[in-house]
Amino acid sequence: MAGELDDPVVVDLPLRGEGWMAVTTPAHRVPSHGTDMLGQRYAYDLLKVDGRRGVHFHPASTLRGGLLGGRARECYAWGAPIHAPFDAEVMAASDGMAEREWIHPAREIARSVKNAVTFSPEKIPEIMGNHVVLRAVPGAVRRAGGGVQPGEVFGGFAHLVPGSVAVAAGQRVASGDLLGRVGHTGNSTAPHLHFQLMDSADLMTAKGIPCAFRSYEVETDGAWVPVTDGIPGRRERIRASGS
């Protein structure tokens, strides 16, 4: 739909530091994940990479990583703290799903395809892995154009490290509070943060809400350029402002 990203809801970037890359972003295509299911229409996949050209999320060479894979906890994003991007109430917090300790690209992709093809509501926990769902408190978010967002806004954070979820359902959190840590549980091909905004906590009925980040920096020609109320482009290298 033309113009649907013109006036997104603006929230804080939930990650800190540099080296982050939006490998899946609504700036590239909508629906960003190829589906509207589970409120994913405008979802992001945020991966941490090194300085090599391309997308290198693990120290291994491209050949070694493709043939042999590597340990999940050696990936650059693994264990990175995830922060609340707005003042909110915790609607759901799920922990305890075991993490796959060894990543092999072919196996991880095959797992994701299988879960998509054989999807049923019972598979949602298996798809999200350890996760948190927040509901923004009134007035905590705004539209990029300055208007108030009509209706409620919920944020979903998926694939967290087991044992890292730092909040519980019913708890109130402030923007910046720790929610958990980036991991490799559920439908994940490598440790990364899946983040989305939606209009309901019920993933079977939720519709995605377009999302921009209040303040971050993009690496352009070797320099860091500040961005306000922006939607990161696909494979742009970004960092939290002030990193």
pLDDT of the residue at 74: 95
Residue 4 lies in a domain: no
Neighbours of 180 (CB within 10 A): 24
Q: Which two tokens stand for residue 212?
A: 């921009």
**Count of domains for the chain:** 1
Residue 3 lies in a domain: no
Would the pTM count as exceeding 0.85? yes
pLDDT of the residue at 142: 92
| Rounded distance between C-alpha atoms, residue 149 and residue 173, angstroms | 20
Which of these, 207, 201, 197, lies nearest to 9 by C-alpha position? 197
Residue 18 lies in a domain: yes
pLDDT of the residue at 1: 41
- Alpha carbon 39 to chain centroid distance? 13
Neighbours of 100 (CB within 10 A): 16
> For 27-72, where are the alpha helices, taking DSSP H only?
62-68
pLDDT of the residue at 119: 66
pLDDT of the residue at 122: 75
Counted residue by residue, the chain has a size of 243
Taking the CA atoms of 141, 142, 148 and 154 in sequence, report the sign of the dihedral they define.
negative
pLDDT of the residue at 24: 97
Place of tokens 């739909």: 1
The torsion defined by the Cα of 157, 241, 47 and 15, in degrees rounded to 10, comes to -30
Backbone angles phi, psi at 73, to 5 degrees: -75, -5
SS3 44: strand
CATH of the domain at 138: 2.70.70.10
| Rounded distance between C-alpha atoms, residue 133 and residue 206, angstroms | 12
Residue 164 vs residues 57, 128, 229, 232, 237: alpha-carbon distances, Å: 21, 15, 29, 27, 26
pLDDT of the residue at 95: 97
Residue 22 lies in a domain: yes
Residue 1 lies in a domain: no
Question: Residue 180 is part of which domain span?
Answer: 9-240
Ranges under pLDDT 50 in the chain? 1-2
| Rounded distance between C-alpha atoms, residue 187 and residue 194, angstroms | 10
Residue 2 lies in a domain: no
